[in-house]
């Protein structure tokens, strides 16, 4: 038996709490973010904002952002119109809270989450085990999945109980 060959991804250490932020940066090494920068992203532990830019692969400039967010658990329903059937994805993720009451309305939440899933992030950031998503030659295809709706769920929501899904997202069962 031979030794396993391993690989790693590169994540930012939070400049606020000095812990692992959960913010992956190695997907930005293709050069398109070298001048433009990134962020604000938010540390998964302390919720403080992080901004920066990639100088070169492995060399990332990071600074503290003035923004901060808290999180609660949420689920979002996404769909992809397939050749024969519609494919639904239920994403179990954090809902960000900015502290601004106007961001806490259901309309604002739906708008913000639609923006996040369809425009503001690459699916390879939130589809675990996915090495790449390519649409018409684009390796960073924001918006290839259509956002349907999001809803908050309790921390102990049971994702293993299949009977929960029709009540939570009836649209996927019509």
Question: Is the Cβ–Cβ distance between 76 and 85 less than 8 Å?
Answer: no
Please tell me the distance from the alpha carbon of residue 115 to that of residue 135, in angstroms, as a whole number: 19
Domain definitions of the chain by residue range: 11-68, 70-173
Which residues, 6+ apart, have CB-to-CB distance to 109 below 8 Å? 95, 103, 150
| DSSP 8-state secondary structure symbol assigned to residue 82 | -
State the pLDDT at residue 174: 79
State the pLDDT at residue 67: 83
Please tell me the distance from the alpha carbon of residue 162 to that of residue 160, in angstroms, as a whole number: 6
Write out the H or E segment, with its range, that includes residue 140.
Answer: none
Of 64, 52, 70, 69, which is closest to residue 16 (Cα–Cα)?
64
State the pLDDT at residue 21: 92
Which whole-number Å values give the CA distances from 46 to 4, 16, 59, 151, 154, in the listed order?
Answer: 34, 8, 24, 23, 20
Q: What is the pLDDT along the chain (174 residues), one digit of tens a residue?
A: 788 887 788 999 999 999 999 899 888 887 666 667 899 998 888 889 999 999 888 899 999 998 887 888 888 898 888 777 787 888 888 887 777 888 789 999 999 899 988 988 878 778 775 556 667 777 777 887 889 999 999 888 888 888 889 989 999 887
Question: Has this prediction a pTM greater than 0.85?
Answer: no
* Residue 137: other Cβ atoms inside 10 A: 6
Please tell me the distance from the alpha carbon of residue 13 to that of residue 162, in angstroms, as a whole number: 37
State the pLDDT at residue 130: 57
State the pLDDT at residue 132: 63
């Amino acid at each position: 038996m031979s030794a396993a060959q391993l690989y790693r991804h590169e994540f930012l250490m939070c400049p606020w709490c000095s812990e692992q932020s959960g913010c992956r940066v190695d997907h930005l090494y293709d050069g398109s973010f070298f001048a433009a920068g990134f962020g604000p992203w938010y540390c998964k532990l302390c919720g403080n904002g992080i901004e920066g830019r990639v100088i070169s692969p492995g060399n990332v400039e990071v600074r503290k952002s003035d923004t901060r967010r808290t999180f609660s658990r949420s689920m979002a329903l996404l769909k992809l119109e397939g050749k024969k059937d519609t494919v639904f994805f239920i994403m179990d993720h954090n809902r960000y809270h900015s502290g601004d009451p106007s961001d806490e309305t259901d309309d604002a939440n739906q708008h913000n989450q639609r923006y996040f899933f369809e425009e503001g992030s690459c699916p390879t950031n939130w589809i675990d085990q996915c090495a790449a998503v390519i649409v018409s030659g684009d390796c960073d295809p924001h918006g290839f999945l259509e956002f349907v709706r999001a809803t908050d769920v309790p921390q102990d929501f049971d994702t293993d109980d299949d009977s929960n899904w029709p009540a939570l997202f009836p649209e996927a069962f019509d």
